């Protein structure tokens, strides 16, 4: 599928393995197929990942230094979280330089490209788009696998997680399903893909189409496309719609949560029912794609509150509604297969 | 407004001044505030622009060679049309080199950047976005001027022309109105702006917002934003929605034509009424922006056919409907002012 040799990762998460913003580290540990040989976080050194963060579902030793991590024989070191303030602090640079000097590949999903900082080293800047992304051609409309795209009531709401949990449910059910990564964590997890928000805007739909075509090469039953942004997110709605049209989905899975925060502190979150209709109408300008299920992120809610919220969304939308992490993605998978 | 000294243009349109694809040449001649000292098209040399193309509404001599054009004292030479096949032919390169050697600025809206081809020369690659475009911040929501954005049933349907004709009608009516250019021809015409389709997708809304903030600096009555693409255009809908949310419009002007061609040969054109509603609903996720008028491009239609089509669109949408070129943009201006 990817042509990329399997990596053995050391994951750099210094001081912040438990920080919810260490999204890329968490994603790779929980969902990546590549091996994790060690996690670097001196504040948790000596513990194992499953002790420190059982929800990551995969174990590895936690070590204090890059030198210790190197003893585990990694091929690659992942910059597992965004640095405070956006620029790499000097001690991270030092850590990465030590790894690079040992011939280890640096893998980074940061906005700031690292290749220029480490001349001669192997660096995979995950956000760097390929330079040959074509315009949307329409070829994606003829893909034979069933294509499902996750969309959201807001951004950062669990679209990637939902997509990967649906793939997991498919795998358990013997359904072949390819995950199509469109953001930095997804790309690190899968080892291929394009960060569509880093692509020149004219080419976002073309990038999405190419990714789906590539995923469909092996004729899987399902192609599961990780969505980005949200139709109602003023900063990212363009990326969302580029994906919505470019990936030519057959159906959509709406991702929601119980938060009532305004998007960017500026605009109200649309209700799941309202935004589902608008996603469908927008998709239908190019190709019909009904919303077939709602994936709700109930993280942090008590069981009864979560249950009530799920019931409310199910009632409001009339759709199969579940939290794929708290419960299972199987109802969503079923809805996709029946669409 | 722009801080850019006024240019005196020689317009390169060799062999194709009358070609409808010479959009940038036509736009600059018809709408630009900069002076046009000469047009280069050896097939029409000796005529004047108003003889060869009266619809351009501005006169200039047509000459056969760049050397003749230089005698008119231009500051700049515009590459006025896209080259066949996308790459500059050798004779155009030679022409531009002659101009550059004479100290003339090269202005180009081509995808291919020309600066690297003419090291040491003054080159304005209009499509090259600034490297400091910020993310959307929400500041655009507080702009006090009334902001109107043109949107379309398809792309290449006359959004820029409609926007400029509304500005012209405003100027005649004593209403101060700033044109906000978002595509290469608009940027050449206005001498400032950003080609939003060349911006990294994450920053399209931010680019649109910055342009509106800049246009609003002088507190005009109206800020008229040139739209791009179309919500129903599978390749460009992302750019369209980025602009729709990023420019924070107070109202929308829908641009339509009588064509029944499928978009990209792939998807049916939505009716004006259907797409108007969808633009409103999408805009309203961030800020209410009703469609207040329809600008119809009836180019090439007989008077009676054009009249019937205008009447049909007016009836279907219930909105003021006019062709600003065949008739006048005044009804659209009025609808914007009353919105």
Distance between CA A258 and CA A72 in Å, rounded?
A: 41
User: Across the interface, do B245 and A237 touch by the CB < 8 Å criterion?
Assistant: yes
B232, closest residue in chain A (CA to CA): A285
The pLDDT assigned to A80 comes to: 81
User: Across the interface, do A285 and B270 touch by the CB < 8 Å criterion?
Assistant: yes
Is the torsion defined by CA of A136, A141, A143, A145 positive or negative? positive
Candidate from A198, A234, A246 with C-beta closest to B245: A234
* B156 vs A: CB within 8 A: no
Other Cβ atoms less than 10 A from the Cβ of A176: the count is 14
Confirm if A111 and A213 have CB atoms less than 8 A apart.
no
Candidate from A141, A239, A281 with C-beta closest to B238: A239
The DSSP result for A157-194, as a single string, is SSHHHHHHHHHHHHHHTT--EEEE--SHHHHHHHT---
Q: What is the pLDDT of residues A87-108, one digit of tens each?
A: 788 899 999 999 999 999 999 9
pLDDT(A84) > 80: no
B266, closest residue in chain A (CA to CA): A138
User: Across the interface, do A264 and B238 touch by the CB < 8 Å criterion?
Assistant: no
Confirm if B119 and B94 have CB atoms less than 8 A apart.
no
Q: What is the distance, to the nearest Å, from the Cα of residue B92 to the centroid of all Cα atoms in its chain?
A: 24
CA distance B69 to chain A (A): 35
DSSP symbol at B262: P
Q: Where does B159-310 show beta strands of DSSP type E?
A: 177-180, 222-225, 251-257, 291-297
Confirm if A205 and A142 have CB atoms less than 8 A apart.
no
Greatest Cα pair distance, chain A, in angstroms, is: 57
Distance between CA A335 and CA B45 in Å, rounded?
A: 67
Residues 6+ apart with CB under 8 A from A30: A55, A56, A57, A58
User: Across the interface, do A232 and B285 touch by the CB < 8 Å criterion?
Assistant: yes
Confirm if B211 and A215 have CB atoms less than 8 A apart.
no
The pLDDT assigned to B4 comes to: 56
* B273 vs A: CB within 8 A: no
pLDDT(A223) > 80: yes
Residues 6+ apart with CB under 8 A from B330: B169, B173, B322
A263, closest residue in chain B (CA to CA): B286
Q: What is the pLDDT of residues A104-132, one digit of tens each?
A: 999 999 988 999 999 999 999 999 999 99
CA distance A233 to chain B (A): 8
Candidate from B243, B267, B281 with C-beta closest to A285: B267
* B284 vs A: CB within 8 A: no
User: Across the interface, do A285 and B232 touch by the CB < 8 Å criterion?
Assistant: yes
Q: What is the distance, to the nearest Å, from the Cα of residue B116 to the centroid of all Cα atoms in its chain?
A: 26
The pLDDT assigned to A89 comes to: 85
Among A residues 197-216, those touching chain B with beta carbons less than 8 Å apart = 197-202, 204-206
The pLDDT assigned to B310 comes to: 97
Distance between CA B18 and CA B4 in Å, rounded?
A: 29
A208, closest residue in chain B (CA to CA): B235
Chain B residues with CB under 8 Å of A205 CB are 234-238
- Band of residue A35 on the pLDDT scale cut at 50, 70, 90: very high
Exposure b/e, B190-208, CB count within 10 A at least 16 = b: bbbbbbbbbbbbbbbbbbb
User: Across the interface, do B205 and A234 touch by the CB < 8 Å criterion?
Assistant: yes
* A148 vs B: CB within 8 A: no
The pLDDT assigned to A5 comes to: 59
Q: What is the mean pLDDT of each run of 10 residues along chain B (339 residues)?
A: 73 93 93 96 97 96 98 96 78 95 96 93 96 96 98 95 98 98 97 96 98 98 98 98 98 96 95 98 98 97 97 98 97 97
CA angle A152/B264/A199 to nearest 5° reads: 45
The DSSP result for B189-205, as a single string, is HHS----GGGSBGGGHH
* A34 vs B: CB within 8 A: no
Distance between CA B313 and CA B315 in Å, rounded?
A: 5
Chain A residues with CB under 8 Å of B231 CB are 241, 282, 285
Q: What is the pLDDT of residues A254-290, one digit of tens each?
A: 999 999 899 999 999 999 999 999 999 999 999 999 9
Q: What is the pLDDT of residues A301-337, one digit of tens each?
A: 999 999 999 999 999 999 999 999 999 999 999 999 9
Residues 6+ apart with CB under 8 A from B331: B293, B320, B321, B322
Distance between CA A64 and CA A69 in Å, rounded?
A: 8
User: Across the interface, do B238 and A231 touch by the CB < 8 Å criterion?
Assistant: no
Give φ, ψ of B27 to 5 degrees: -60, -45
pTM score, whole prediction: 0.95
Confirm if A133 and A207 have CB atoms less than 8 A apart.
yes
pLDDT(A158) > 90: yes
* B327 vs A: CB within 8 A: no
Other Cβ atoms less than 10 A from the Cβ of B272: the count is 24
* B264 vs A: CB within 8 A: yes
Candidate from A202, A246, A266 with C-beta closest to B234: A246
* B270 vs A: CB within 8 A: yes
* A289 vs B: CB within 8 A: no
SS3 B55: helix
The DSSP result for B107-163, as a single string, is EE--SS--GGGSTTS-EEETT---TTPPPP-SGGGG--SEEEEEEESSSSSSHHHHH
Confirm if B52 and B18 have CB atoms less than 8 A apart.
yes
Greatest Cα pair distance, chain B, in angstroms, is: 57
Confirm if A188 and A27 have CB atoms less than 8 A apart.
yes
* B246 vs A: CB within 8 A: yes
Distance between CA B16 and CA B107 in Å, rounded?
A: 18
* A73 vs B: CB within 8 A: no
User: Across the interface, do B242 and A238 touch by the CB < 8 Å criterion?
Assistant: yes
CA distances (Å), B152 to each of A64, B316, B332, in order? 58, 16, 15
- Band of residue A4 on the pLDDT scale cut at 50, 70, 90: low
Q: What is the pLDDT of residues A175-186, one digit of tens each?
A: 999 999 999 999
A243, closest residue in chain B (CA to CA): B238
């Amino acid at each position: 599928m990817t042509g990329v040799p399997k990596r053995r990762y050391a994951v750099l998460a210094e001081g912040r393995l438990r920080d919810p913003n260490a999204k890329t580290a968490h994603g790779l540990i929980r969902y990546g197929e590549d091996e994790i040989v060690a996690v670097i976080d001196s504040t948790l050194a000596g513990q194992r990942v499953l002790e420190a963060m059982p929800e990551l579902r995969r174990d590895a030793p936690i070590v204090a230094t890059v030198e210790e991590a190197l003893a585990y024989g990694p091929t690659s070191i992942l910059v597992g979280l965004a640095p405070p303030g956006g620029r790499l602090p000097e001690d991270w640079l030092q850590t990465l330089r030590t790894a690079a000097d040992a011939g280890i590949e640096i893998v980074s999903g940061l906005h700031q490209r690292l290749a220029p900082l480490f001349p001669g080293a192997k660096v995979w800047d995950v956000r760097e788009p390929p330079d040959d992304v074509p315009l949307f051609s329409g070829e994606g409309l003829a893909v034979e696998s069933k294509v499902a795209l996750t969309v959201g009531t807001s951004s950062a709401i669990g679209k990637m997680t939902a997509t990967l949990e649906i793939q997991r449910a498919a795998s358990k059910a013997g359904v072949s399903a390819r995950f199509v990564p469109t953001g930095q964590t997804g790309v690190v997890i899968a080892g291929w893909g394009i960060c569509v928000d880093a692509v020149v805007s004219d080419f976002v739909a073309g990038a999405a189409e190419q990714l789906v075509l590539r995923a469909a090469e092996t004729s899987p039953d399902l192609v599961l496309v990780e969505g980005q942004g949200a139709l109602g997110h003023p900063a990212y709605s363009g990326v969302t719609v580029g994906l919505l049209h470019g990936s030519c989905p057959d159906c959509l899975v709406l991702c929601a949560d119980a938060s009532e925060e305004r998007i960017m502190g500026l605009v109200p979150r649309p209700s799941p029912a309202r935004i589902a209709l608008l996603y469908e109408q927008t998709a239908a300008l190019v190709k019909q794609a009904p919303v077939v299920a709602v994936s709700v992120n109930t993280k942090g809610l008590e069981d009864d509150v979560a249950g009530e919220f799920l019931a409310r969304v199910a009632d409001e939308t009339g759709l199969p509604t579940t939290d794929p992490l708290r419960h299972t993605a199987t109802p969503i998978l079923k809805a996709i297969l029946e669409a």
